Chain A
Amino acid sequence: MGFLDIDNTTKSYGAVEVLHKVDISVQEGEFLVLVGPSGCGKSTLLNMIAGLEEITSGEIRIKDAVMNGVHPSKRNIAMVFQSYALYPNMTVGQNITFGLEMHGTPKPERDKAMKDVASLLQIEQLLDRKPGALSGGQRQRVAMGRALVRNPDVFLFDEPLSNLDAKLRVDMRTEIKKLHQKLGTTIVYVTHDQIEAMTLSTRIAVMNGGYVQQLGTPQEIYDAPANIFVATFMGSPAMNVLPAKVEIENGRPTAQVILHDGSTVSLPFSQDNMKDWAGKEILLGIRPETITDEDAADRKSSNIAHMTNRIVVTEPAGSDTFVTMTLGGKDVIARMRSDANVQAGADFTFAVNMEKAVAFDPKTEARIAP
């Protein structure tokens, strides 16, 4: 029993099922992020929690009370919309207290609640302005103020940062995280931005095609993605996925990978269960940051493999230099230190941290190791 339970919930439009048996239990104070590409059903799920969309089957419970069919205003939730949805004809102060007014809170209490929230979000000086006279970041704050003032059980955020410019987005991201740490509220947050998902959440639900592909902490999702979709969706640049063949060498399972010139390099696995796949083709997942030069290799890793391969392109990005090579017939990206001595067209000896490597079944695309 969680604080917010999404119990075998499905959503259909006519005969088309768009959400398939979603089962998530959120604890009090958790920050759950629903992340996925557009059309994956994440916003639909959020709207179902809010009561703006009906639940086709299954149950949604908040504090053990079934919410199916309960009006949005009676669920004790608050929502921050992508467009902020501030009432254009009302001042900031009226926007913030509209919900309290509708719930019949007396005026003195409303004013006090408004002042508290305004000082928390540092928007006191904006209270008499109309939303049209505010900047994007200010509107964002007001929208959060409107949600906070009701002191709800669950906060719902629907891509709240996607309308802000890049710099402001990073600032507001930190702001939201601070607010969550300070208030300890339960939050469900929808985004298509995997960095937002990683940085904000205590748990992530990666969604695609109406299915929850994986539910777990950011670390679990990043280190042990359930399948190739999760592996490549989370992380930037995306995880390299390349074909390899498993063979046993000196009693250890290894991945045989083809280099740019057609020769084969042998990368030993850390996981013994890969022996079961001996002689079979797999898909090998290697994160860009685990391919480095020798000096930058992880000292704590017990399994650093080496390979010499030709560099195709280098992309210096300031903090890192991205190096593209051909491995297993695919373009593979390595994330090097910015001062690594790499040159396009030259051969280079890479250190691969195989402790972090992930193996996938090429048929089901599901993870087989670790």
Chain B
Amino acid sequence: MSVATQDTAIRTGRVTRTLIYLVLVLFALFYMLPLYVMVVNSVKPLEEITGGGMMNLPVVFTLEPWAKAWSSAQIGVEPTGLSPYFWNSIKMVVPAVAISTVLGALNGYVLTKWRFKYDTIVFGLILFACFIPFQIVLIPMAKMLGLMGLAGTTWGLVLVHVVYGVGFTTLYFRNYYAVFPTELIRAAQIDGAGFFQIFWRILLPSSGPIAVVSIIWQFTNIWNDFLFGASFAGAGSQPMTVALNNLVQASHGVKEYNVHFAGAILAALPTLLVYIVAGRYFVRGLMAGSVKG
């Protein structure tokens, strides 16, 4: 395999190669710049930033802004820091990701291995969910949450994200299971396994790569969501993104840029972590089924 890739790579001279790497390094630096600004400024005292040295390395190194952003910064009216909202986000993200992934897997299983009449139309309709803009569902969703008594609660947000995410997770799992050998399902049927036994014992253990794709996708989207959080969350269920906005947009007092930078990094850390831990499965899972071997 690796031999084949080497053979198909374009052969270039040393000068061209140097040029290519130069351009690549420049692009990499350019893309790293925002992260650099954020990290550098989150470990400086405020005077160093307001003094005009945005791009400079810190003269005095301090973790004070991080501590403040986490536990004592003014969010709205309460000086709680971001920590309670961080837990709000976790309480929302974990069940929402888990439920939407399991539902997507079940949908994919049914749509590929328990075919029924008009199943492609059903799949098409589910797929349609991927293309509906967030804004369209805001008002009907608010009404529905109110009717169900879930308005302003974490479970309300979980429901919204599950409903919105099932379209994507179904798409992933359906395409993955479409190339899963049906003979295995038939063998299990003859062996006497039922619908859920086949799902748990045969299908799910072989779904690692696509489950990782689904989890990363759902985790990133739900964690980063602002609109639903801002629209449907109550005082006790606001997620991290909304709190970060409240921290940064505060219209009174001094703008503590170093705290804002630290808060923004804190808000982005979990998704970064998920990518680092599971990222290499991500591409593998996305490619699964498209290329043989």
Contacts and interface: CB of A to CB of B under 8 A. Distances in A.
Interface of A: 50-52, 71-74, 77-79, 81-83, 85, 87-89, 98-99, 102-103, 146
A70 to B, nearest CB: 12
Main secondary structure of the interface of B (DSSP, over half): helix
Given A73-B191, A73-B192, A99-B191, A85 B186 contact: yes
26 contacts: A50-B186, A50-B190, A51-B190, A52-B189, A71-B189, A72-B189, A73-B190, A73-B193, A74-B192, A77-B190, A78-B190, A83-B181, A85-B181, A85-B184, A88-B184, A89-B206, A98-B188, A98-B191, A98-B201, A99-B190, A102-B191, A102-B192, A102-B197, A103-B192, A146-B187, A146-B191
Given A52-B186, A77-B190, 16 more contacts: A52-B189, A52-B190, A72-B190, A73-B192, A81-B186, A81-B187, A85-B181, A85-B184, A98-B188, A98-B191, A98-B193, A98-B201, A99-B190, A99-B191, A102-B191, A103-B192
Given A88-B206, A89-B206, A102-B197, A79 B192 contact: no
Contacts of A77: 190
A89 B206 CA distance: 7
B7 to A, nearest CB: 28
B292 to A, nearest CB: 15
Contacts of A103: 192
Nearest to A158: B183
Interface of B: 181, 183-184, 186-193, 197, 201-202, 205-206
A81 B183 contact: yes
A360 B186 CA distance: 43
A83 B184 CA distance: 9
Nearest to B187: A85
A105 to B, nearest CB: 10
Contacts of A71: 189
Contacts, number: 56
Contacts of B191: 73, 98-99, 102, 146
Contact of A89 (B181, B183, B202): B202
Nearest to A88: B206
A78 B197 CA distance: 19
A224 B289 CA distance: 49
Given A102-B192, A102-B193, A103-B192, A79 B187 contact: yes
Closest 10 CB pairs of A and B: A73-B192, A99-B191, A102-B192, A89-B205, A85-B187, A85-B183, A81-B183, A72-B190, A85-B184, A72-B189
A88 B184 CA distance: 9
A98 B181 CA distance: 18
A102 B189 CA distance: 10
A87 B190 contact: no
B189 A87 contact: no
Contacts of B202: 87, 89
A309 to B, nearest CB: 50
A60 B178 CA distance: 31
A52 B188 CA distance: 11
Nearest to A104: B192
A87 B184 contact: yes
A77 B189 CA distance: 11
Interface-central residue, B192, B193, B202, by most chain A CB under 10 Å: B192
B206 A79 contact: no
B183 to A, nearest CB: 4
Contacts of B206: 88-89
B160 to A, nearest CB: 34
A122 B206 CA distance: 28
Choose among B181, B187, B206 the residue with the greatest number of A CB atoms under 10 Å from its CB.
B187
Nearest to B197: A102
Contact of A87 (B186, B188, B192): B188
* B189, B197, B205: most-surrounded residue (chain A CB, <10 A): B189
Contacts of B201: 87, 98
Contacts of B193: 73, 98, 102
Contacts of B188: 87, 98
Nearest to B203: A89
A99 B187 CA distance: 9
Contacts of A85: 181, 183-184, 186-187
A187 to B, nearest CB: 15
Contacts of B184: 85, 87-88
